[in-house]
Amino acid sequence: MEIVSNSIREKIEERENLILSKRAVKSSQTQGRKRQEDKCPLRTEFQRDRDRILHSKAFRRLKHKTQVFFSPYDDHFRTRMTHTLEVSQIARTISRALQLNEDLTEAIALGHDLGHTPFGHSGERVLNELMPNGYRHNEQSVRVVEFIENLNLTLETTDGILNHSYHCMPSTLEGQVVRISDKIAYINHDIQDAIRAGIINTEDIPKESVNYFSTTNRIRLTKIVADIIDNSWDKDTVEMSDECFEQFINLRKWMFEHVYNNSPAKLAEDKAQNVIRLLFQHYCEILSKTYKNSSNEEIMQTACDYVSGMTDRYVLIKYEENFLPSPLVQKNNDDFLYKLAGMNGLK
């Protein structure tokens, strides 16, 4: 049995070399990890990355982090985890069709939002204001996998996670697939969620977008994905055709005007940001008193690591625990804050 199992990874790698595009990243040709490890007899390097992310604490917490709507009671609204899974599904479909490395694509997709804050982009904006060098969730995602959870991922997966945002460009086509799939996923599922929330109606969607994409999520997704595959086949970039991209950008602008900005979905944004701001300042004060020989930068980074990793519901629990009166004597369970303090070298 040991002889058989030791050959499984090699067989997968051989199959990749036979069927994947010349532009795909082959598992056997990975740039490796920052810390060298023995190879797994059963899984390729990118399959190991995927599994490490899937089993991480940060991934599990995504189920209770906001996508657009804060702490919804309706279970059918997207969370950051369901968004991540939809990105992964879209990205795998495109990657498979383009004969790219589906395992690398999936690993990047599953890890791309691990650094997102509670309350979605609202939380990110307030931490960006508070941190001296700003806060960007893609960079925090890398910090999560490299430092906080110490997953020791391959350089290709880390590169894809870091560069999935609009202003970045991944070094691999698999990373480019995730980058574009992220945008496709959130525009499409946020339309569904906004309709469910009563913020918009199907009839409100611009007629030009309806004529081009349809009002049906399934048809719209299929059209965009097919366009990307047709337009990216045997090329060094993964992108939509000019016509599809123009229609997609127009739909995205419309969503920003009617859903993402100045809509009922944003009514609680100021309150959410205030919760994060107060907790961040509270933990900075605690750390400053406890670790008197540490720099302000080290203290702020530790507080940022702690608060940004919280789920929506946990950040509200900590807010209530620290700022609202209670008839009971409660013991603060901030063990992970002090573990982060040790990891960050606070003294």
Q: What is the mean pLDDT of residues 58-64?
A: 96
What percentage of the chain exceeds 70 in pLDDT?
Answer: 95
Q: What is the CATH number of the domain that holds 131?
A: 1.10.3210.10
Long-range contacts (CB closer than 8 Å, 24 or more residues apart) made by 105-109: 105/174, 105/177, 105/178, 106/50, 107/46, 107/47, 107/49, 107/50, 107/53, 107/153, 107/157, 107/160, 108/157, 108/160, 108/161, 108/164, 108/170, 108/174, 108/175, 108/178, 109/84, 109/178, 109/181, 109/182
The one-letter amino acid at 158: T
Residue 188: closest CA among 90, 61, 64, 74: 90
Q: What is the pLDDT of residues 287-312, one digit of tens each?
A: 999 999 999 999 999 999 999 999 99
Task: Tell me which DSSP letter residue 344 carries.
Answer: T
- Residue range(s) defining the domain that contains residue 112: 44-266
CA distance 243 to 239: 11
Find the largest Cα–Cα distance for the chain. Answer: 68
Residues 101 and 44 sit within 8 Å (Cβ to Cβ): no
Looking at the structure, do residues 283 and 184 belong to the same domain, yes or no? no
Q: Quickly count: other Cβ atoms within 10 Å of residue 135's Cβ.
A: 19
**CB-CB contact of 154 with 39 (8 Å):** no
**pLDDT (average), residues 89-96:** 98
Could you give the CA distance from residue 191 to residue 20 in angstroms, rounded to a whole number?
A: 35
What are the phi and psi torsion angles at 330 (to 5°)?
-115, 145
User: What average pLDDT score do residues 110-139 get?
Assistant: 96
Indicate whether 251 and 273 sit together in one domain.
no
Read off the pLDDT of each residue in 53-66 and give the average, rounded to a whole number: 96
Statement to judge: residues 312 and 219 lie in one domain: no
Question: What whole-number distance in Å separates Cα of residue 61 and Cα of residue 73?
Answer: 17
In this prediction, residue 119 carries a pLDDT of 93
pLDDT of 260 reads 87
Residues 76 and 157 in one domain: yes
Q: What is this structure's pTM? A: 0.94
153 confidence band (pLDDT: 50, 70, 90): very high
Kindly state whether residues 95 and 66 are assigned to the same domain. Answer: yes
The domain total for the chain is 2
